[in-house]
Amino acid sequence: MISCNDLRPGMGFKYDGNIFTVLDTWHNKTAMRQMVIKIKAKNLRTGSITDISMTGGDKVETIHLEKREMQYLYDDGMGLVFMDTENYEQVSINKDRLKWEMNFLKENGTAEITYYEGEILGIALPSKVTLRIVETEPAVRGDTAKTATKDATLETGFVIRVPLFVGQDEEVIVRTDTGEYDSRA
């Protein structure tokens, strides 16, 4: 148990039966009343972001999140199967929880799986991944009235906008946070 005054961004804590990670904190102390601590926190089970207000000195239980580097193996129909690269243990994560991440996962790719007391909370992808373009339209000469980009379908099925000079079967680097083209590989 620690005082809510000591919470800092990145710390995990338990509050009202839910587990959160701190995104930001604000301390408000006026002369006429007790300190109020406002915490912007992310619920690690649902992914929702909430604002929590506490009185200075309130206690919260800290939690320890375990993070493991795992390799994506395959899609088993219901979920995605990952393997721990240290002990070769395999886990399956439901596809519904990984809709965005599926756009950037290819077989043998790596991801960081976050656990809390054996419960899988989510995955964190590398900030950028290299993917191959399987389909793109040919560049049209002189088509630069607006930004000179075109649609390209990646090997995962995700569609991004790429510059006109990027062609089919080329590998590109894609940002996993925004899903945007970064550069050629």
**Would you place residue 173 in the very low, low, confident or very high pLDDT band (cuts 50, 70, 90)?**
very high
- Residue 127 per-residue DSSP state: S
So what's the pLDDT on residue 7? Answer: 85
- Cα 152 from Cα 157, distance rounded (Å): 10
Looking at residues 145-172, what average pLDDT do you find? 85
Average pLDDT, the chain: 86
- Spatial distance between the Cα atoms of 79 and 21, rounded to a whole number of angstroms: 25
Confidence of residue 83 (pLDDT cuts 50, 70, 90): very high
The pLDDT score that the predictor gives to residue 146 is 65
List, for residues 84-111, the tens digit of each pLDDT value. 888 888 988 888 888 888 888 888 888 8
Supply the DSSP string of 72-96, one letter for each residue. Answer: EEEE-SSEEEEEETTT--EEEEEGG
List pLDDT tens digits, range 8-44.
Answer: 888 889 888 888 888 999 988 877 788 888 999 988 8
Q: Are 124 and 114 in contact (CB under 8 A)?
A: yes
Model confidence at 143, pLDDT cuts 50, 70, 90, reads low
Strand arrangement, sheet containing 2-3: 2-3, 59-62, 12-15, 18-28, 36-43, 49-55
Q: What is the pLDDT of residue 149?
A: 84
Nearest by Cα to 177 from 126, 131, 133: 126
pLDDT exceeds cutoff 80 at 142: no
